[in-house]
Chain A
């Protein structure tokens, strides 16, 4: 370019906000999810030369390794800082290479097994003792930090201790305190055994992926997701093309039909699941219909774990009902792009509807169908609300498992692994569709 006009920044300024937004909410989470899934943040514990977080690291011991506690040191809470005494343990254990390491680690990373502790000291500034185990129970008394206490009993899970000790006024108070507010470690015995409970340093790992794959619901989720997709997509595309052709034939009241056909476009998947639940549930419409026709005496049970095929049928119908309109709109806008002369020419030469469809319409629709196919497949991998509404726990899909691992098992790592797995499947299918269709077009050109 010889004479270049001054560079126009306007469009770049205009798209900048959306780029920033998309970077924050797409690129960053994608990156985070890789870390979430492939990195374990607490596999390895740093052992330090001095009892301080800033001290030099002398070695690392893996999670669940047995160590021996040689000594312990209490660091009282500094004013205006943590309100709990820090306890540091001098431990000796073997690292991954088998070398013996001796050094300091903070006590909350290490589990010391003391059998039936009988005494300890208060670790918290002004520890409130409760009348019952639990943080909402009334306060029985308050003990200052470092008070020696007697441990009378513990609850079943050993998360609360009943302790007694003297308070500020010198009165003896008794009540319940949470286990981590009472220091019970003593080195009275020669050697106290302990276990590395949680590390504080990360490493790359496949443990979460492994856990996902070996989970007993993984196979089910994968099979059901793919099965649903394989059943739904062909029905959906056939129906969508039929609907588009019906609209294309310019009936009277065409706009009304178009409006009705596009009603499901904006519907919520959960709501549609509930709608079809009302059809298939035991006292639902399907049983009412069968009853009215005199086919059954008493309502049949469709939605139970024993009748998975019925649940799958219900989900298929709901998904076909809900998402066919989306394919239809894409096909209709594809059809509108086909020049009418092509179809008229084909009709003039006596091509029937079927011939016109297979030889003219479908080949010309291929780009639209390809887009619709990619979109629908990716959406099919994340089917969620419909399945839960219809089957409850009866059927499980990949998205369902991701939700369960996050919400019920409180394990975002495995949930993230499911999410990445869904992404991987989506990308593979998208690339597969793009490649197959492209090669066909290229072959056509030759």
Chain B
């Protein structure tokens, strides 16, 4: 091996390392740019929500609130119907969580623990139903609720939302149960507990965090949902329905504070459920 080839090899190696470094740096740059693209709009709306009303109307606008003020936010929260519709939203979302989880949990357990004829059909049916547009369901359900004299009631909307979130809940809870080892349950039964006790003492505590994540997803879906809400409610508006109906006539500070306020639960939700992200959305590909 001559000295020259050694030198050339060395140079080639250095070039390769440099190239890898550049690639790496470019990937970091790209990742950071995408992160900015995602975070910037949230910063902007938060700035608006915590500026003075004067700053909200001012032009040009600054990137950070200066000075920080709760004036805009408290204007929004004290606007007509905002607190009552927020309360309605929370009630509807909680009812949705309860109905959806209670109905979905047994089905999720069934598809994760039993192999039975019709299981694949059931899964397929759930996937199909999950893809159905809410727009299609909301209008006939509204007509039906009027006939049943259940119009403009929070429980009607909650049942609609529960139907909407049920397929996802079944799949997510199913995947959570599937991640609890079967052997643990069997071991408990070997030591003399009934299947129900085994479920209650062993499976449920292990699955509980996942079920909680699914419940949070249900809560946020219901909190966000606007089309069915605006069709099914008249006076008992939920928050998105309330904001949507007055959007055309409301001042900027109302809109911006309302927009930020509606985002808060989803930000909290993503933080607490990040471990279960792929349980929740990765499910649909399986």
Contacts and interface: CB of A to CB of B under 8 A. Distances in A.
Interface of A: 8, 10-15, 17-19, 21-22, 24-26, 28-30, 32-33, 36, 239, 242-243, 246, 249, 251, 255, 257-279, 281-285, 287-288, 291-292, 299, 321, 326, 329-330, 332-334, 367-368, 371, 374-375, 378, 381-382, 384-385, 388-389, 392-393, 398-399, 402-403, 406-407, 412, 415-416, 418-420, 422-423, 426, 430
Contacts of A26: 129, 132, 137, 163
Contact of A270 (B141, B167, B217, B240): B240
A288 B284 contact: no
A433 to B, nearest CB: 11
B65 interface: no
30 contacts: A11-B116, A13-B106, A15-B106, A18-B104, A21-B166, A25-B137, A25-B163, A242-B34, A251-B24, A263-B38, A264-B38, A271-B240, A275-B45, A275-B259, A278-B255, A278-B259, A283-B59, A291-B60, A292-B60, A321-B41, A385-B244, A388-B244, A399-B135, A402-B139, A419-B133, A419-B136, A419-B139, A422-B133, A426-B131, A426-B133
A14 B103 contact: no
Interface in B52-111: 57-62, 102-104, 106-107, 109-111
B133 A299 contact: no
B166 A22 contact: yes
A330 B281 contact: yes
Contact of B266 (A11, A28, A267, A299): A267
B279 to A, nearest CB: 10
A218 to B, nearest CB: 15
A392 B281 contact: no
Contact of A263 (B139, B143, B244, B267): B267
Contacts of B252: 281, 283
B211 interface: no
A262 B277 contact: yes
A180 to B, nearest CB: 21
B134 A371 contact: no
B224 A269 contact: yes
A423 B274 contact: no
A333 B227 contact: no
Given A33-B136, A385-B226, A263 B131 contact: no
Contact of A14 (B106, B125, B138): B106
Given A12-B116, A36-B140, A274 B132 contact: no
B38 A382 contact: no
Given A246-B34, A279-B41, A281-B252, A374 B131 contact: yes
A382 B227 contact: yes
Contacts of B27: 246, 249, 251
A257 B248 contact: no
Interface residues of B, number: 93
Contacts of A403: 227, 230-231
Given A30-B136, A262-B270, A333-B282, A275 B44 contact: yes
B223 interface: yes
B184 interface: no
B247 interface: yes
B150 interface: no
A253 B235 CA distance: 48
Nearest to B245: A407
Contact of B255 (A28, A277, A399, A416): A277
B198 interface: no
B153 to A, nearest CB: 15
Given A33-B139, A268-B263, A275-B44, A368 B270 contact: no
Considering the complex of A and B, which 3 residue pairs feature the smallest CB-CB distances, nearest first?
Answer: A274-B259, A25-B163, A333-B282
B226 A288 contact: no
A223 B134 CA distance: 21
Contact of B122 (A15, A266, A282, A283): A15
A407 B103 contact: no
Nearest to A250: B27
Contacts of B231: 403, 406-407
